[in-house]
Amino acid sequence: MRIEQIELRRIELPFVAPFETSGWREEANHSVLVRLFAQGAEGWGEAPVGIGPWYNEETSATAWVMLREILAPLILQVDLDGPEGVEAAFARVRANRMARSGIEFAAWDLFGHLRGQSLTSMLGGTRSSVDVGVSVGVQSSIEALLEVVGAYVAAGYQRVKLKIKPGWDIEPTRAIRERWPDLRLQVDANSIYTLADAAHLAQLDAFNLLLIEQPLAHDDIFDHAKLQPQLRTPICLDESIVSPEHARWALEMGACGVINIKPSRVGGLTAARQIHNMAQAAGVPVWCGGMLETGIGRAANVALASLPNFSLPGDISASERYFKRDIVTNPFRLSPDSTLSVPTEPGSGAEVDMEYLEHVTVEKIVIG
């Protein structure tokens, strides 16, 4: 099958509130959306890049250029037997994994519609709902933090991830743990610490955390393998796992006890499923991370999280946690048991609100 036409859109979808980590602040979703057309069907994908190169090297501007100038023209020349063929088609393209994932997600959605299969069934999902948590950014004070976390707990979230950084780590974590002794709690450092901080980070062991996410450099595996034996809390690798090969290295080195799989970070669902299978064989749990996606990217994440080794709650919160109005007509809603339902419709299940999408589109191009 040949893709007949590709539509690309840059959007600006405001968040309900700014999201702040140890290294950057996001005011809105700046994703590049991909729409593939073939054989009378269409598929949607999302490259959930930020406005700046703070999480990884990609931005909305670079992904737009890569998709428009390289990736879209390339995929129009390829015969596809299934969505897995997209990864092979882009094999000679180095990095730019989020841009590549936009087309790959759209291909999975397209083939799901053509085959009459849901994305979860195509991936091998085993759950009808997935456990989810909420990620809480750096706040202005511990009092403000407790108020924010309290609102999420009241809304039904049973797992909270706290963004930490030097000066905002031990005491905020202690305050949450003292207020909610049984809350499933984890922390995310977004690469802000060094190996010299090992003794400081070991203080977090007192708070019965699920994990500490990416404490050291964004591209490091070696020093994490040195740090893990010094902590009782499992290290979770995120930014440094950008491919199945990186996952293999981390597992063989004992650099982590958990892996966060963001499908966009590793280039798509095909690579994400490979990492899931590899970690499962090694007895290492995984969980699904999020990039503050719209309902399009969120649907792909939820389908992936239905695979059996996703045994920890994912950062794929309900749509209202991020947006007053999403660009889909069927936004994800939190169930009372802190889960999201896995769509069973053909493809990803995302139903795009074209009227509102036009409103938040800042640039559009059709190729082919």
Q: Which residues are catalytic?
A: 163, 262
Structure tokens at 33: 């959306």
Instruction: Please report how many Cα atoms fall inside a 13 Å half-sphere around the Cα of residue 187, on the Cβ side.
Output: 31
Q: In angstroms, how far apart are the furthest CA atoms of the chain?
A: 59
AA letter at 300: A
How distant is the alpha carbon of residue 301 from its chain centre? 7
DSSP states of 176-222 as a string?
HHHH-TTSEEEEE-TT---GGGHHHHHGGGGG--S-EE--S-TT-SH
Neighbour count for residue 261 (Cβ, 10 Å): 28
> What sign does the dihedral 133-161-13-117 (CA atoms) show?
negative
* Distances, alpha carbon 311 to alpha carbons 68, 126, 127, 271, 279, in Å: 37, 12, 11, 19, 12
What CA–CA distance (Å, rounded) separates 34 from 41?
14
- 3-state SS assignment for residue 144: helix
From residue 151, alpha-carbon distances to 101, 210, 310 in Å are 33, 21, 26
CA dihedral 270, 273, 275, 277 (to 10 degrees): -140
Beta strand spans in 235-360 (E): 235-237, 258-261, 286-288, 339-341
